[in-house]
Structure 1
Amino acid sequence: MSQNVFERLQSGEIVAFSDPQYNQIGESGLRTSELLIQYNATFEPDKMRRIWGEMSGEPLDPTTYIQKPVFVNHAGFVRVGKNIYINHACTMLALGKIIIEDDVLIGPKVNLISEGHPVDPAKRKALEVKPVIIKRNAWIGAAATILPGVTVGENSIVAAGAVVNKDVPDNVIVGGIPAKVIKYISEENV
């Protein structure tokens, strides 16, 4: 095995809990957890940005604010752009990568889930990952859930409480479970 478990997951491999490298996932998660406790306990924006940078490997832009508490299992797989606001209690399961482009709004209690398990019961105790991408100027409403492999298009809105299991085009509003297009956003409004 020349690749580590993270590279294997990123390449699309399904990794069983019994895999000899699986413990690397837990070790990585512990490092994020230690720093996340500090992040969620501080009230100083500069210190919060510094801690986020330690967790993710990339500094948090001064125009971006991630409200506390935030829950993330592997911050090294989260990329956050500029001029972003993430509200309280956002959960990010990030092994598949979570990319949040510039000018995004994320409401409270949103779930960004890039990790899952195979449907086949014989393989279910394994991990598979796919990226979640939130494109520029999108707005994710309160308590929405974005599932693995989903891209939310530019300027689009995900209604509160929606469960998004497929890509969202640019310039639309989606809602429901599973989320469906409920309205197109006109070019004058973009």
Structure 2
Amino acid sequence: MDYSLRTRIANQPIYRDSELFKEIHLVKGNNERLVMEMNTGYHDAAEVRAYLKCITDQEIDEPVTVSLPFYTDYAKHITFGKEIFINNNVLFVDLGGITIDDHVLIGPRASLITVNHLENPADRRGLFVKPVHIKQNAWIGAGATILPGVTVGENAIVAANATVTKDVPANMIVAGTPAKVIRQIKAEKEF
């Protein structure tokens, strides 16, 4: 993971005409070929992990399963835990950093977004980033959207099609747009 870039972009606007913006788009452009290759044709689980290793510049554990197609724009700021499952058509907009802890499940068409555009119309093409963290054993439902700066707590469930705008407490189920807590999870046994 490119920690030096993550440090340079944290908590500051990134303007379209800056050298930093150009550097980000150079890395993004170089990764697009690998992402496209990975998403074209059939690849077994080992081949997908090999592509993800090249795309993210990190080792991917064997129990990690990513169903294709998988989309990412930057890719260097994703951290995968162990024994996670990511269903097909998931989108990671990861410039701000996406951390997926162990045993996480992510449903089809979910989107994890770490980038926002600037509000000022004159600077709208610029960016501001905040990390997303999905904690251990959380489940992100199909079509859910996790927005910049959100942490989804341990064992939490984000219902299908929810839009998560603020942190989700551990052991809670959230649903709706914007997502709200609907109930606590009552565990039958410890994980």
Q: Which TM-score bucket, shorter chain as reference?
A: over 0.9
Aligned to 1:172: 172
Cα offsets for 1:100-124 (capped at 9, x unmatched): 0000000000000001112233432
Query: Mean Cα displacement is larger for which, 94-103 or 12-21?
Result: 12-21
Preserved contact between residue 64 and residue 83 of structure 1 (Cα < 8 Å): yes
Counterpart code for 1:28: V
Cα offsets for 1:159-181 (capped at 9, x unmatched): 00000000000000000000000
Distance across 1 between alignment mates of 2:123 and 2:150: 22
Aligned to 1:120: 120
Following superposition, the deviation at residue 125 of structure 1 comes to 2.3
Cα offsets for 1:86-110 (capped at 9, x unmatched): 0010001000000000000000000
Cα offsets for 1:19-72 (capped at 9, x unmatched): 133211111011211111222134222221111101111121110111000110
2:127 corresponds to 1:148? no
TM-score scaled by structure 2? 0.92
Aligned to 2:163: 163
Distance across 2 between alignment mates of 1:189 and 1:127: 44
Identity of aligned residues (%): 40
Aligned to 2:19: 20
* Structure 2 residues not aligned, in runs of 5+: none
Distance across 2 between alignment mates of 1:84 and 1:154: 14
1:87-98 correspondence runs (5 A): 87-98=87-98
Distance across 1 between alignment mates of 2:17 and 2:141: 37
Counterpart code for 1:38: E
Query: Mean Cα displacement is larger for which, 23-32 or 93-102?
Result: 23-32
Alpha carbons of structure 1 residues 23 and 179: separation in structure 2 relative to 1, 3 Å:
same
Q: Does the residue aligned with 1:25 lie in a helix, a strand or coil?
A: helix
Counterpart code for 1:96: G
Structural RMSD (CA): 1.7
Query: Mean Cα displacement is larger for which, 60-69 or 117-126?
Result: 117-126
Following superposition, the deviation at residue 189 of structure 1 comes to 5.5
* Structure 1 residues not aligned, in runs of 5+: none
Counterpart code for 2:32: S
Q: Does the residue aligned with 2:108 lie in a helix, a strand or coil?
A: coil
Aligned to 1:130: 130
TM-score scaled by structure 1? 0.92
Preserved contact between residue 89 and residue 109 of structure 1 (Cα < 8 Å): yes
Aligned to 1:32: 31
Distance across 2 between alignment mates of 1:40 and 1:189: 38
Over 3 Å off, 4+ runs: 4-7, 187-190
Counterpart code for 1:79: T
Count of residues in Structure 1 that have an aligned counterpart in Structure 2: 187
Preserved contact between residue 14 and residue 127 of structure 2 (Cα < 8 Å): yes
Aligned to 1:48: 48
